[in-house]
Structure 1
Amino acid sequence: MLLAITKSGDTFIPSTLKTHELQLIKKQNLSYYCPACKERVVLRAGLKQIAHFAHRSKSDCDNLSKGEGKIHEQGKKDLYNWLKAQNVEVSLEHYIQSIKQRADLFVKWNNRLFVIEYQCAKIPIKDILKRTYAYQSISIMPIWILGAKQMKRLSKYSIHLTKTLELYLHSTPYCQSPLMYFYCPIRQQFAKFHLFAQTDTSKAIGLFEFNPLRELTFFDTPHTQYNKEMLDEWYKEQFKFRFHLPKHCYGKEKAFRNWLYHMQLHPSTISSFVGLPIRYQLKMNCSIWDWQSRLCYVFINNHKRFSYHQVMHYMRPYKKSQMLLPLVNTPIDPVKEYLDLLIQLKILTFEDNMYFVIRRLKTYCNPQEALKGDKKMKDLLKNKVKYK
């Protein structure tokens, strides 16, 4: 840990001192204590590591750091100095007694409380949820910033998004799309990933924004101007869905493929209005092709008009529990996003709190016609559709 307290209760951060100053401190053989358990800790300061404190080997303190590593320590230090330089009230390695949890950074800003967790190592989903909900239970907003090694880019506009990484997506009423944060202390570079759409279970399309840390301020206004080239990335995924059938299907994907067979549908000829990019797809518990095809072919095609309540009732089984999305604090609904797109694409209209079906969605006669339809859809989305 980077911080300890003295006998008089003052905090001491050795990494803020120069090398010769640290050597003088070590010679004084002063006593330092953990701010959580009050046990005596050992000052470690060498040429190859950031000056820090360590518990004795048999300690069972809740504040005990477990091999966080040099990158993690440097990242915490950089973020702490960055906030201090902006005159933001911040505490390093702040221990919160009520929930027995240590925050990397504890921030007071604009009459609100925040914690920043700089997470370099992979941790279980249950730990992410536990720590996030613990902060929220005492009205503290958690912000997770990941180490750069956890960013697995697949292309200029896509990222490998596991179920674990999905939990680090942030969203508030002020964000038009979910955000994920990364920081590299080696380059002192901060990165934001603005989610545009999720296609399969492990891939997300979006915009990367890279900035030197010194050029940013705490709570910068999120960037939301999407690049139309991201729709080219989506178009590739649509092609993959149509013609690259998985060798093995399990769980919900297998159930979806069986449903398609039962409905006499095939991915190669399904409507181009199925699989449209939705920014809050993470709120659904199945793929975009799964729930959108069911909504189109079972619900919309069998109604001349319907209410918002009716469609939400039908889609309820395909939505995730809010408990699995602790950092997504926005009322934006993916089904509503999709219906808004269909209105812009002249499939639906909305009047007097009712949706009216202008034209039904049909399958194509052959794969060649489907490819032409997808190309036309991509052009429509680029030129006419406004993402709100």
Structure 2
Amino acid sequence: MHGGATADRGDGPVAEPIVQSATFSAASEEEFAQIALERRGGRFYTRYGNPNHEKVAAVIADLEAAETAMVFASGMATATTTALALLSSGDHVVAQRSTYAGTASLVLNVLPRLGITCTQVDQTDPRAFADAFRPQTRLVLLETPSNPLLEVTDLRAVSALARSAGALTLADNTFASPVNSRPLELGVDLVWHSSTKYLGGHSDLSAGALAGSAELLDRIWDTALVTGAVLGPFDAWLLLRGIRTLPLRVRQHNANGAALATALEAHPAVRAVHYPGLPSHPQHAVAATQMSGYGGVVSLELAGGYAAERFISGLRLARRAASLALVVHPVAMWAGTLEPGQISSAGVSPGLVRLAAGIEDTQDLVEDALRSLDALHEGTP
């Protein structure tokens, strides 16, 4: 709530002002040279940083227990810039098989064109990571819980294995949020977010964030200047505004996700529910050691050939759209990003539906989902 707060407790603004300027002046040649060379600064040129960037990055660093942080125009801008900064032709990456479609496309379709190879593994088995390491392995891409199957990666075990192999770990913490999990405290080197999701919280901005040590972010900074995936000052301000209520919102996301998962698991129209907070989840015990809550995202697979689209169309509260606090049919949404074979190899079936509970009334959300499932089961339109 008070992260990154200004030390001035006098007559300054309570709400952080928006600094919309694209460039900043200096009083002398010496000062101009100094601010031009400052990494992650905020008063030279907005591609190099902005006061709104500085403020929200400081708060994100606090949330993730990191030395420092950077912000980007989107989550994928964050992941892509980081990969380009840390990898070179001939390097090797180990990545999860179950992961966000954009991340999968990066490692399967983009990096190979640059001479960077990738091995995908079953993230539920730490030994699968160890078996995939090569002398050329430089980076391990993690995501837990994964999108959209909500599989869990043992961050302590995999980070230790990667460190012993001389590889860096980069974890996507979007679904957990730093309220529920802090991967850096478990040994991960770098954490990134699609800040469009839980951090922003209002579906009105696109942003990404990266947190870790100053030494690693300094290496990534130089590439970030070249890629130019700059977060606008107003979006940085919106992101800070959203983060101020993050703990309150995540508390309700956690409650809604748990209630939905429990109710869905008991319904005869549902074949399987993927939610790490359920005792029936295969990695529930691991999740309990590295998460304080399990988030609002629940995936379900319908039984008996029921159509995912019929279930989605029967919902009254959840809207069909990308991002969180909404409902999606992953097979349909990912068709523009991955090849059909890549989608199926990630374990995403045609019957899979991803629900992302917002902060609505818990009973309303559960009743809405059960109403649509009842209609499917009873064969009504």
- Higher RCO, Cα 8 Å, sep 6+: 2
TM-score w.r.t. the length of structure 1 is 0.26
- Tell me which protein shows more helix as a share of its residues: 2
- Tell me which protein shows more strand as a share of its residues: 1
TM-score w.r.t. the length of structure 2 is 0.26
